[in-house]
Amino acid sequence: MSTAAHASAGAAESTPFPSAKLGIWWFLASEIMVFGGLIVSYLLFRMAGPGWSAELHHNSTLLGTVNTLILLTSSFTMVEVHRAHGRGEEAKFRLHLALTILLGLVFLAIKGAEYTAHIREGLVPAKSMFWAFYFGMTGLHGLHVLGGIVANACLYAVAARPGGVARYGHRAEMNGLYWHFVDVVWIFLFPLLYLG
């Protein structure tokens, strides 16, 4: 790890946390504010304007619930990746990482099918404020899911090399922190856009 190299280069690590972890936490703090801004804007509009619950019923609660379960399961497999690194189980590391990537792709596929159905019905972003928020929020979230998939795929590529898990496996924790954050954002979006 880079932090160890720095320590040997003269600068003692000054906190108990690796630099990469501190960096991810600061990054997530700023991400909270991005989604926070969107969610608060949505809530204010929704409280001010009637009729939103009618439009919300165009969304399939079933598909939303399935997607929620998929993301939750992928968070579980992500944790398994991290645990496998701790125990040095290379095959399990790669298997669960592949599962996490796969579940992320299934989530996006379902989301894509929902988008297609909405757009065919004429429920496009310009239709009303609800659909503007729906596509804006789930779209930005979807981009974050995609980013997580790319990060995990990069990790898989280096972990597939001989000795790759031992060398790069600690990155699973950083990817995991981000992946759980994306999951938590969805936990907020799901009731706001599908249930209430």
Partner 1 sequence: MSGTTAAAGGHHGEPGGFLRKYVFSADHKMIARQYMFISLFWAAVGGYFAYIIRWQLAHPEADIPLFGRPIGPDEYNAFVTMHGTIMVFFVAMPLLLASFGNFLIPLMIGARDMAFPRLNMLSVWVLGAASALLLLSFFVEGGPAAGGWTGYPPLSARTAYVGADKGMDLWLLALALEFASFLMGGINFLVTPLNMRTRGMGLLRMPLFVWMVMIASLLFLLSVGPLVAGAVMLLLDRNLGTSFFLASGGGDPLLWQHLFWFFGHPEVYVILLPGLGAMMEVMPTFSRKTIFGYRPIIVAVLVAGALSFVVWAHHQYISGLDPRLATPFSVTTILISVPFALIVFALLATLWGGSIRLATPMWFAVGGLAVFIFGGLTGIFNGSAAVDIYIHDTYFVVAHFHSTFFSALFLAGFAAIYYWYPKMFGRMMNEALGQIHFWGTFLFFLAVFVPMHLVGVGGMMRRIANPGQYEFLAPLSGLNRMITMSAVLLLLSQFFFAFNFFWSMFRGRRAPDNPWEGTTLEWTTPSPPPHGNWPGEVPQVHHPPYGYGLPGAGEDWVPQHRPAPSGAGAGR
Counting contacts by CB under 8 A, is residue 2 touching partner 1?
Answer: yes
Quote the least distance from Cβ 57 to partner 1, whole Å.
19
CA 46 to chain centre: 25
Quote the least distance from Cβ 106 to partner 1, whole Å.
25
Burial of residue 85 (CB within 10 Å: 0-12, 13-18, 19+) is buried
Of 92 and 127, the one with the shorter C-beta distance to partner 1 is 127
- Cβ density class 59-82: b for 16+ within 10 Å, e for less: beeeebeebbebbebbbebbbbbb
Counting contacts by CB under 8 A, is residue 140 touching partner 1?
Answer: yes
DSSP structure string for 15-82: SSS-HHHHHHHHHHHHHHHHHHHHHHHHHHHHHHSS-HHHHHTTS-HHHHHHHHHHHHHHHHHHHHHH
Which residues between 109 and 128 bind partner 1 (CB under 8 A)? 124-126, 128
Quote the least distance from Cβ 87 to partner 1, whole Å.
21
> Are the C-beta atoms of residues 55 and 131 closer than 8 Å to each other?
yes
Counting contacts by CB under 8 A, is residue 193 touching partner 1?
Answer: no
Of 10 and 162, the one with the shorter C-beta distance to partner 1 is 10
Of 19 and 73, the one with the shorter C-beta distance to partner 1 is 19
Counting contacts by CB under 8 A, is residue 188 touching partner 1?
Answer: no
- d(CA 88, CA 68) in angstroms, rounded, equals 30
Counting contacts by CB under 8 A, is residue 161 touching partner 1?
Answer: no
Of 62 and 126, the one with the shorter C-beta distance to partner 1 is 126
Radius of gyration of the chain (CA): 20
Using alpha carbons, select from 96, 102, 94 the residue that is nearest to residue 78: 96
Member of 102, 105, 132, 177 binding partner 1 (CB under 8 A): 132
* Per-residue mark of binding to partner 1, 8-47 (x: CB under 8 A): -xxxxxxx-x-xx-xx--xx-xxxxxxxxxx-xx--xx--
Q: Which residues of this protein are in contact with partner 1, per CB under 8 A?
A: 1-3, 5-6, 9-15, 17, 19-20, 22-23, 26-27, 29-38, 40-41, 44-45, 49, 124-126, 128-129, 132, 135-136, 140, 167-168
